[in-house]
Amino acid sequence: MGVVDDMESRDRHEDILVDECERLRNEICDKDSRIHELTRELKEAKLQIERAYLENIETLRYAVEVRNPYTRGHSERVSKYAVLIGGKMGLTESELKTLRIGGLFHDIGKIGTPDSILLKEGKLTDEEYARIKRHPLIGTEILSNARVFDDILPVVKYHHERFDGSGYPEQLKGDEIPLLARITAVADSFDAMSSRRTYRDKLEMEVIVQEIKNGKGTQFDPEIADVFIDVLENCFEEIGEIQKSYV
């Protein structure tokens, strides 16, 4: 009887252990399922927050452009010109996407510039110019609150740097300036020269081409300037399509 009792006791203990293991397994599965559910909910919440932030930023970008009828469509054109240059240079799809989005938001920091400066018809005072030179840093600060903009921050921050180191905000020189910012600088300058502004009419294309040539090595990366000059001289229909689409 003692042997039988011992076997039955072991069987009962094994049954208890099996039941406990099954209970723990089910509990772990339930917790794992809940963790996956919470992770999904957190991702969805993050996406909703990012979408809302993107909508707000897009509203700010639009607000900047509609303040000045002379710069309406500027960001869209800069974006298209930059992608056109990048395509001619053989950039990757990822780099072209960053150029496209960076071009759209490069001037978002001007939301912090008063109309009295943005819309001024005459020459800016030194104080006013110093104020407008802050817009790359303001734009970077606005966009840095969402990781979705991380890739374009160098474009926003450095598109007013000059190849010779005399630009702003950090006086970077040559290859110290991120490539996509150097491309955007050429696109931005071209649109400024080829558009009417409060203080002048748009420049003739021959004048613009000469200005870009004159700026090689000082304002502009010489290689990028040459690529864009080639586009202006030999593929201007592509430029014309962009200008007609974003008036």
Average pLDDT, rounded, for the chain? 86
List pLDDT tens digits, range 63-119: 777 776 666 789 999 999 999 999 999 999 999 999 999 999 999 999 888 888 888
Q: To the nearest whole percent, how much of the chain has pLDDT over 90?
A: 52
Look at residue 21 in the predicted model and tell me its pLDDT: 72
Contact present, 199 and 121 (Cβ < 8 Å): yes
The DSSP annotation for the chain comes to: -HHHHHHHHHHHHHHHHHHHHHHHHHHHHHHHHHHHHHHHHHHHHHHHHHHHHHHHHHHHHHHHHHT-GGGTTHHHHHHHHHHHHHHHTT--HHHHHHHHHHHHHTTGGGGGS-HHHHT--SPPPHHHHHHHTTHHHHHHHHHTTSGGGGGGHHHHHHTT--TTS--SSS---GGGS-HHHHHHHHHHHHHHHTS-BTTBPPPPHHHHHHHHHHTBTTTB-HHHHHHHHHHHHH-HHHHHHHHHH--
On the question of pLDDT at 213 being above 80, the answer is yes
Look at residue 13 in the predicted model and tell me its pLDDT: 65
Look at residue 7 in the predicted model and tell me its pLDDT: 53
Q: At 98, which amino acid appears?
A: T
Strand partners, 197: 200
Radius of gyration from C-alpha coordinates of the chain: 29
List pLDDT tens digits, range 132-171: 999 999 999 989 988 888 999 999 999 999 999 999 999 9
pTM over 0.95: no
Q: Hey, which residues are catalytic here?
A: 110
On the question of pLDDT at 210 being above 90, the answer is yes
Look at residue 60 in the predicted model and tell me its pLDDT: 74
